Chain A
Amino acid sequence: MTDEELWGQVRAGESEAFGQLFERHAQAVFAYCLRRTGVWAAAEDLMSVVFMETWRKRTSVVIEGSLLPWLYTVALGVTRNHQRSRTRYRAALGKVPPQHADQDHADDVARRVDAETRTKAVIAELEKLPAGDREVLEMSAWSDLSQAQIAQVLGIPVGTVKSRLARAQRTVRGALVEEAL
């Protein structure tokens, strides 16, 4: 079943369909949030917030094709307002059962720490960019969205996406691997 078909069910209030969309896109949203925040636990929470907010807006959102562009739109907003979002959703996030210590094996912890370390190093480089340029570059590098979709997500013209991307690439070239750009 396509995202559009599932979303039609979600708009009618079917939570199971929303669960399927969650399973389909949770990893992509989590990865985006982790790359934006550099903190594993925060990224997990923000991922949940993105889906909660998407559910809340279900009656007013129409999607064409994939739900991902919309999820990235929401993810961009909640990562921008990380602190505020945590306050708003604290009660709901508090209901997520904590991870048991006996499941938290050393390998898993090391895997998380490595991911956070890698991500924070990239964030440190990207923070040298103006916010607008940075968001375009991040969306371009971390999602499969086209430039037209990125323009839609960020609410700016496609030409602006292109010019910001070019400027951002010039700025970070050398510090970050070019082929990834």
Chain B
Amino acid sequence: MNITPDIPQLDPMRLQVRKHALLNEISTKPSRRWWRFAVPATALVAAVVATLVLWTPTNPNAYASWTAEPRAPGADADAAIAECRAMIESSAEHGGGYRPDWPAMPTEVSVVDQRGIMTLVLFTGPESEMQCFHTPQGHSVSGGGTSKGLEPLGDKLFGSIGGASMSTDRDGSNPMRIYSGMVSQKVGKAVVHTEDGLKVTATIGKGWLLAWWPSRGDATSITLYDHEGKELGTQSTRIG
């Protein structure tokens, strides 16, 4: 058996169809991924209904109350975590029926990032990770199986999972970026720099970091500090 099995050439006509579909797609306006904000990534009907009821996609209060520095964990964190966990567990219960190969839902609360009225919780597990967005107006979860096959950091100080994801409301307003990744135990503080000049202090916990900011500006670099505040270095967050 050859490790490099022969792969037939794609049919030229089929390739052209794919190409034109691609060019048509990219020539249209950017897709509005409000559903990432409003709909659980597992696309479960029950969760969708719950989310749409609880969470109005446009959430200017969360947007307006954002701060570059996370606030100290408040008394509201526990209730937010409990509600997020309930939604994830509900997704897990319904998910098996729809997608037998969907990875096991994460159960570990790794980071709780609180800015203004928004509590952003990162749940991690051996096969998947999920972010829960929680405000007094409602909550939703989004995530997937990116943790599956993820390698330990080793000697590295930081490793992102796919860069900063972006979400907007249905009409494209209120864009926000969410950035998460694995971080070494040596790191006590991390500041994410964005294309539009923001310097966002991430929240760190249990080997993970988490941050969000209210703009379309992608992350460009991240500066890491040790627990004494000494700078460990700045590394690009761009891939390639």
Contact = CB atoms under 8 A, between A and B. Distances in A.
Contact of A115 (B3, B7, B43): B7
Contacts of A148: none
Contacts of B148: 80-81
A83 to B, nearest CB: 6
A52 B31 CA distance: 11
Interface in B35-56: 41, 43
Contact of B23 (A19, A77, A125, A175): A19
A166 interface: no
A69 B149 CA distance: 20
A173 B10 CA distance: 30
A131 B21 contact: no
B187 to A, nearest CB: 18
B21 A96 contact: yes
B22 interface: yes
Contact of A35 (B5, B15, B146): B5
A108 interface: yes
A108 B240 CA distance: 37
A63 interface: yes
A39 B24 CA distance: 25
**Most-contacted residue by chain B among A16, A47, A60, A156 (CB, 10 A):** A60
A121 B159 CA distance: 33
A99 B11 CA distance: 11
Interface string A65-94: 000011001000100110110010001100
A122 B19 contact: no
B239 A61 contact: yes
A6 interface: no
A30 B10 contact: yes
A61 B21 contact: no
B238 interface: yes
Contacts of A125: 1, 3
A170 to B, nearest CB: 14
Interface string B6-20: 111111011101110
Contacts of A31: 7
B1 A122 contact: yes
B169 interface: no
Contacts of B17: 96-97
Contacts of A142: 4
Given A26-B15, A73-B239, A51 B1 contact: no
Given A70-B240, A83-B99, A27 B10 contact: yes
B102 interface: yes
Interface in B145-202: 145-146, 148-149, 151, 159, 162-163
A87 B22 contact: no
Contacts of B113: none
Nearest to A140: B3
B23 A18 contact: yes
A26 B18 contact: yes
B232 to A, nearest CB: 18
User: Which 9 A-B residue pairings sit nearest by Cβ, starting from the closest?
Assistant: A84-B144, A118-B5, A31-B7, A176-B3, A96-B21, A61-B240, A180-B3, A131-B149, A70-B240
Given A73-B239, A180-B4, 16 more contacts: A19-B19, A19-B23, A22-B19, A23-B15, A27-B9, A44-B18, A48-B18, A81-B145, A83-B99, A83-B102, A96-B18, A122-B3, A125-B3, A172-B3, A176-B3, A177-B1
